[in-house]
Homo-oligomer: A and B are copies of this chain.
Amino acid sequence: MKLNLDSEDELPVFRQLAKALQQKILSGELQPGARMPAETVLASENGIHRSTVREAIRALEQQGLLHREEGKRKLFVSRPNTEEMSRRLVTPMVMNGVTFEEIWEAIRALDPVAAEAAAHRRDIDNLKALDDNIARTKAAMDDPDELVKLDIEFHELIAVAANNRVIQSLRLPISDLFYPSFQTVMTSLNASERLLTAHEKIVQAIKWGDAAEAKEWMIKHLNDFRKGYELASLDITGPAEFPAKAGE
């Protein structure tokens, strides 16, 4: 694999290499799954030093374009995982102090549409997963921690049922950011009944293919949450915090 590295270029060689490789991947010349040559090979074939190659590889690895399975040595071209990449937005968002309100508004935008879409597709498997989630919710009415987990899962399932990978990915970072405050809300308020009802109504509507209804209830559900946030006397305009085990 010889790449054309221009020594006239003012860019550092390792960047040129990264760019060249990236292009080869994006253009499809190197397809996901393909084995990459060893570092030494890449180095000598291009007349550069191995450490230079390594630095370039690190970058592409971060972007998810290259990947090696845990513990193994062989390097492969890979298709970056959208959800994983999307989750990386959590850090920038928190560091830039996005407020709870901004986050809520975003989920308020995505989830109702997801519910709507889910009602249109009505996939059997997804519905089963949702039913199962509701069953477990009923069994956990007194366990706030578990309820929080189940609610997060519920919303994720809705996004899955919507069969829309873009929405699914984009909601991930916001969903993560929700976690901590949601926990507070559920622990200090007794909102489990309302939560369950809303979930049930949503699933019901999806089953009947009633998109408008599904959407409506999702909106109600989200509004409820916002009210809960206020009732728990948390500051809507305050910055979001790092979710406990975000990222790793």
Contacts and interface: CB of A to CB of B under 8 A. Distances in A.
A183 interface: no
A95 B80 contact: yes
A91 B65 CA distance: 9
Stoichiometry, copies per complex: 2
A47 interface: no
B92 A164 contact: no
A6 to B, nearest CB: 16
Interface of A: 26, 32, 51, 54-55, 58-59, 62-65, 79-82, 85-86, 88-89, 91-93, 95-96, 98, 101-103, 105-106, 108-110, 112-114, 117, 162, 164-167, 169-170, 174, 242
24 contacts: A26-B95, A32-B95, A55-B58, A58-B62, A62-B63, A63-B91, A64-B92, A80-B91, A82-B96, A82-B98, A85-B88, A89-B169, A89-B170, A93-B165, A93-B166, A101-B164, A102-B166, A103-B166, A106-B110, A108-B113, A109-B112, A109-B114, A109-B167, A110-B110
